[in-house]
Structure 1
Amino acid sequence: MIFLIFSVFITSLLFVIFKLFDVYKVNTFQAIVLNYAVALCFGFVHSEISLSVTEIPKQPWFLGATILGFLFITVFLVMGITAQKNGLSVASVAGKMSVVIPVVLGIFLYNESIGFVKIIGIILALVAVYLSSAKSDTAPVEFKNLLFPMLLFLGSGSIDTLLKYTEDTYVSKGAVPMFLSTIFGCALLFGISFMVIQFFSKKVKLEWKTLIGGIALGVPNYYSMEFLLKALQTEGLESATIFTINNVSVVVLTTVFALLFFKEKLVKKNWIGIGLAIISILLVVSA
């Protein structure tokens, strides 16, 4: 459970860092690409297994790591498009509601238990995420354009599901850092490809604050993933429970950070969502 707590806390810090990017006008996409380079280095440093570059493609988890690397960078791009076209609330709801995908697939792939109490907890978790993302008590969240929100929903859920499946099937505990390094390395390569296109089409320039932002993001990004994978390897905790607690807790803690550090105001729907989130966690854990 301690690894899950660390993962929730550090993942919540990532949202604070993204908020600071907006405050200090840091190019978010460039910082994300650079953060993968930092995370890649941390993975190699913490790895208990020494592999050459030519040996990595021979590992049983390499295909999964490559796909995850591509998903990491592309889902972020889809998130940006969704936020621009549909608004931040829709982007947040679409991303966080994706917890239902690994939870449902965990029941079929791993024969994990499912009972009435857990079902209620999962449903309340989804409602809590929706309400926590609301910006107004009267105006409903608009879904006029479902293409990008659906892509974000499927992409985020695919990341959680594939991460769990690959880790559970092919990755030993000692290979977790190397596995993460490969994911980050693949994301870095895909990201650099996107940046090259940007440089030629928009003449985008790198700035020192972008480099600093990439480092500030890369360190917690690596540890959030490592702690999540270690939590998934904890005996007695099912993936449905872990993903539900992780996603809902991140929403709650991020809200606390927003109140404390950025003085953001919450509407009634947000407070109801936070209350339902706490109840859902208790239901899922006790089930």
Structure 2
Amino acid sequence: MYLLLSICASTLIFVIFKVVGKRNINTLQTIVINYFTAFTYGILSYDAPIIVSDIIQSKWFFGAIGLGFLFIAIFNVMALTAQRNGLSVASVASKMSVVIPIIFGLFFYNESLGWQKALGIVLALLAVYLASYKAKTDQRFSIKTLWLPIILFLGSGTIDTSIKYIETTYLADNGIPIFSATIFFIAGVIGIGLLSAKAIQKQFTFDPKSIVSGVILGVVNYYSIYTLLKALNAENFESSTIFTVNNVAIVMLTTLIGLLLFKERLLTKNWIGIGIAVLSIILVTLS
């Protein structure tokens, strides 16, 4: 049940971004409200006294600041990718980023690299290109069609790698909620700074609809992480199985929703890319 909820919540993030774009709701305002909503949920989930000075002096605090910058930057990129390139492209680019923490683990944690894992990494990179390809009627292929998925791929991988490193190196067992809440809060504060800069430049117009979309996104964003962690705690399933089913299901579900609800058209290369994405996820996570 937790795995099913995690798949649905993660897929909903991409769908919400797509709807926000189609209804011309302000994306940045939605993202800022989303982070303060997720921050609130993180605080409510923490069962120990909250002492600000202890948080600032903790070893993971500066890492949380860096992740706060990355969170809001990559969430913006994710939104733009879903709106400009399609749900399937955004989903594949973010889910294929799993190869980055794997490469990091090879060098930092001295993990082994077998042929199966190496093949999965290569296929993942190929899948990002094929799934992101868009036909051009009057011009040749341009790197402009790929820069958003590439940034999403690298940024998502960097976030996953950083979280894994900080969690295994500095976090206590009960520190995940307050650590997550700190990241969400910093990302929200940075977002407020961006909105303030737009206001100073007289480029800011408050969008009331962003409150609703931001709160919904924040709840979904928080529970996409919470339910995945709960699924990983299940005694009857290995984490490799959970990650494989989770990632493959999200890629396929976002593609299906893109086709059925948003009438996205996929080229043959896109379908091949999605198929390779599924294969590469299986190879990498089960190696």
TM-score, normalized by length of structure 2?
0.81
Match in the other structure for 1:193: 193
**Partner AA of 2:220 in structure 1:** P
* 1:189-220 C-alpha deviation (Å, 9 max, x unpaired): 11111110011113412222111011011011
Is the alpha carbon distance of 1:154 and 1:11 closer, same or farther for their aligned partners in structure 2, counting shifts above 3 Å?
same
Match in the other structure for 1:44: 43
Task: Provide the C-alpha distance between the structure 1 equivalents of 2:71 and 2:56, rounded to a whole number of angstroms.
Answer: 19
* 1:2-51 C-alpha deviation (Å, 9 max, x unpaired): 76664443222101001110122110011101111100000011113321
* 1:69-115 C-alpha deviation (Å, 9 max, x unpaired): 0111233456678899xx637x8476565443222001112233321
Greater CA drift, 176-185 or 217-226:
217-226
Task: Provide the C-alpha distance between the structure 2 equivalents of 1:142 and 1:17, rounded to a whole number of angstroms.
Answer: 28
In the TM superposition, what are the counterparts of 1:74-113 in structure 2 within 5 Å? 74-77=73-76, 88=85, 92=90, 98-113=97-112
| CA RMSD after TM alignment | 3.4
Task: Provide the C-alpha distance between the structure 2 equivalents of 1:42 and 1:213, rounded to a whole number of angstroms.
Answer: 16
CA contact 1:99–1:247 (8 Å) conserved in 2: no
CA contact 1:164–1:232 (8 Å) conserved in 2: no
Match in the other structure for 1:56: 55
Match in the other structure for 1:218: 218
Give the gaps of 5 or more residues in structure 2.
none
Match in the other structure for 2:254: 254
Does 2:37 align with 1:22? Answer: no
Task: Provide the C-alpha distance between the structure 2 equivalents of 1:24 and 1:149, rounded to a whole number of angstroms.
Answer: 22
State the identity %. Answer: 48
CA contact 1:49–1:175 (8 Å) conserved in 2: no
**Partner AA of 1:279 in structure 2:** L
TM-score, normalized by length of structure 1?
0.81
Is the alpha carbon distance of 1:88 and 1:262 closer, same or farther for their aligned partners in structure 2, counting shifts above 3 Å?
closer
Q: Does the residue aligned with 1:123 lie in a helix, a strand or coil?
A: helix
**Partner AA of 1:88 in structure 2:** N
Is the alpha carbon distance of 1:273 and 1:198 closer, same or farther for their aligned partners in structure 2, counting shifts above 3 Å?
same
Q: Does the residue aligned with 2:53 lie in a helix, a strand or coil?
A: coil
Is the alpha carbon distance of 1:99 and 1:245 closer, same or farther for their aligned partners in structure 2, counting shifts above 3 Å?
farther
Is the alpha carbon distance of 1:38 and 1:232 closer, same or farther for their aligned partners in structure 2, counting shifts above 3 Å?
same
Task: Provide the C-alpha distance between the structure 2 equivalents of 1:218 and 1:162, rounded to a whole number of angstroms.
Answer: 21
Match in the other structure for 1:166: 166
Match in the other structure for 1:263: 263
Is the alpha carbon distance of 1:234 and 1:253 closer, same or farther for their aligned partners in structure 2, counting shifts above 3 Å?
same
Greater CA drift, 6-15 or 178-187:
6-15
Is the alpha carbon distance of 1:230 and 1:60 closer, same or farther for their aligned partners in structure 2, counting shifts above 3 Å?
farther
**Partner AA of 1:280 in structure 2:** S
CA shift, 1:245, in A, is: 7.0
CA contact 2:77–2:151 (8 Å) conserved in 1: yes
